[in-house]
Amino acid sequence: MSLLTILHYPDPRLHQRARPVEHIDPELQRTFDDMLETMYAAPGIGLAATQVGIGLRFTVVDVSEAKDEPQVFINPEIITRAGKCKSEEGCLSVPGYSDTVIRSQQVHVRALNRAGEPFEVEAEELLAICLQHEIDHLDGRLFIDRLSDLKRRRARRQIRRALREAQQDKTGAG
């Protein structure tokens, strides 16, 4: 297994819509493992293929406290939604920034598992938020794209400043 490079905003690949997975082979299954390893190392609770520069519709997720329930969602689709909630989110592709977005409280999601078998999940709480966030990534959308215009402009300024400072730190350190 190996760690993959996570793309950071404003990389234009984060705004591309991913294509459906058409067949699942051992190579793709190795990619699932690499993505899980990358997600655990970050650390994060979800990582979409889009975030590592793969234009296919799948995401890895683990919202368990013990980090021992890895899940792969291939071609995930939200079938139904219920309720609304405020969700405080961050993103591995938008380091150093978090904000509140409005999400559905519950989502019914249909997907294929790592073996290509269909399954459905009635997701609530953290899993519901995480799946909405990751499926957004597959549609080329970041959580900051869900902020109001005013907040989004402020967020972009703040993120650009953080990126510049990180760059200067690197230069300073040689």
Q: Give the residue with the Cβ less far from Zn ion, 74 or 91.
A: 91
Q: Give the residue with the Cβ less far from Zn ion, 74 or 101.
A: 101
- Known catalytic residue: 89? no
Interacting span for Zn ion (CB under 5 A) from 6-14, 18-26, 57-65, 85-93: 85-93
Task: Give the shortest CB-44-to-Zn ion separation in angstroms.
Answer: 8
Question: Does 91 sit near Zn ion (CB under 5 A)?
Answer: yes
Task: Give the shortest CB-21-to-Zn ion separation in angstroms.
Answer: 19
Q: Which residue is nearest to Zn ion (CB)?
A: 91
What does the alpha-carbon distance between residue 15 and residue 68 come to, in Å, rounded to a whole number?
A: 30
Task: Give the shortest CB-23-to-Zn ion separation in angstroms.
Answer: 26
Residues 120-159 that bind Zn ion (CB under 5 A): none
